[in-house]
Amino acid sequence: MTVFQKYLVSISLVMVLIVVYYLQAILTPFLVGIILAYLGDPLVDRLERQRVNRTLAVLIVFAVFLLILVGVAVVVIPVLFDEVSGLVSDIPEIISWLQNVASPYLVSTFNIDPFDISPDRLKESIFDNWHRTGDFVGQLVQEVTASSMTMLNALISITLVPVVAFYLLRDWDDCIERIRQMIPLNVEPKVVKLTRECDEVLSQFLRGQLLIMCVLGFVYALGLAFVGLDLAILIGLVSGLASIVPYLGFVIGILSAITAAMFQFQDLTPIVYILMVFLLGQGLEGIILTPLLVGDRIGLHPVAVIFAVMAAGHLFGFFGVLLALPIAAVVMVFLRDLKSSYLSSELYDRSKGDK
């Protein structure tokens, strides 16, 4: 690669990163569409090998995905509705527990009573801050308007996702071929080799992580149901979905389950069982599921995993957290190639010879 080509590639990468950073608010449907197209492309290619038209194959894959989603919704939504309804009906008991158990504990330990709100103090507070009422109302209207726009943008994004995914999936092979034709001939073999390695690592990681997410959600929900937790299915489902980010499902699940258990049981014994359920799920993920379904292809130390997730979340928000490990997997492919090139270089040979 010439010096000009290196500068061109570097400038192109910097421009892409700048565009992604400033347009991240509108890139969500396109990003999700790319991920869905990438996951669905092997299925469409398999149907094409059976002499099925590409567009028809994409429609078949979309129909299968839709049937799976509808089937899961038919099974899960009624259960979740019952659990949420039970939670709403338990609100008076939760308030009573807060008044009779939590409030005395806070008073005796921290001298704080969250329910000590007398009418006189409330009236005095309102009178002292009456001049802020206009600002509060204005801020409230602004927040409601912003929330409405956020909801509208979310609906538009949800609508765009299947459209973007359909067209990308239909033209996936053509897009890949056009990108390949733009690669300089002198570096094409190297780029194709690295791209195939990245594709292998990403496909194994993403499909494996999705399977891990489903298995952990089932394990958490089943274990919490055996404990007797009323919100077992809801917490298990959320924990499983959050498990697509390492450690996040474990943290969210165990905190929400312990909180729900404190309200429901008001006893420490179920909390011990809940801890056992999540420790079992974490051990199952680390010892069996991850080695079996994902393998050691990324090769990141746990501290590096945490750093990658936090750094990507700080830079790109929620979707940065989701994409942290796939991007880290691609980076590791290039780092391994760089290491291999260095070990076979004259620079490495000279440094060993000097010793």
Over residues 136-152, the pLDDT tens digits come to 555 655 655 656 666 67
Same domain as 243, residue 103? no
Predicted confidence band of residue 135 (pLDDT cuts 50, 70, 90): low
Based on the fold, state whether residues 62 and 200 are members of the same structural domain: no
Residue 126 has pLDDT above 60, yes or no: no
Residue 62 lies in a domain: yes
Give the whole-angstrom CA distance, residue 200 versus residue 208. Answer: 12
Q: Are 250 and 279 within one domain?
A: yes
Helices (H), 171-247: 172-181, 188-227, 232-242
Are both 34 and 140 inside the same structural domain? yes
The domain boundary residue, chosen from 110, 145, 176 = 176
Residue 7 lies in a domain: no
- pLDDT for res 352: 58
For residue 199, the one-letter residue type is D
Q: Please identify, among 122, 151, 176, the residue that sits at the C-terminal boundary of a domain.
A: 176
The answer to whether position 260 is within a domain reads yes
Q: Distance between alpha carbon 205 and the CA centroid of its chain, in Å?
A: 14
Tell me which residue has tokens 């500068």: 7
251 lies in some domain: yes
Eight-state DSSP code of residue 26? T
Q: Does residue 355 sit within a domain?
A: no
Quick check: is 19 in a domain?
A: no
* Residues 220-270 pLDDT 10s: 999 999 988 888 888 888 898 888 777 788 888 899 898 888 878 777 888
Minimum mean pLDDT range among 54-63, 146-155, 186-195, 198-207: 146-155
Task: Quote the pLDDT of residue 114.
Answer: 56
Measured CA to CA in angstroms, residue 193 lies from 179, 180, 188, 239, 337 at distances of: 14, 12, 8, 37, 10
> Does any domain span residue 353?
no
Cα–Cα distance measured from residue 70 to residue 75, given in angstroms and rounded to the nearest whole number: 9
Phi–psi pair at 114, nearest 5 degrees: -65, -15
Place of tokens 């939760």: 94
- The answer to whether residues 328 and 298 touch, using CB atoms and an 8 Å cutoff, is yes
Its pTM stands at: 0.66
What is the C-alpha to C-alpha distance for residues 45 and 112, in angstroms, rounded to an integer? 64
* Number of domains making up the chain: 2
Q: Residue 234, Cβ neighbours under 10 Å: how many?
A: 22
Q: 328 and 308 in one domain? A: yes
Dihedral angle of Cα 237, 239, 240, 243, to the nearest 10 degrees: 160
- Among 176, 204, 220, which residue terminates a domain? 176
**CA distances for 48 relative to 36, 169, 207, angstroms:** 18, 13, 21
Which domain, by its residues, includes 236? Answer: 183-344
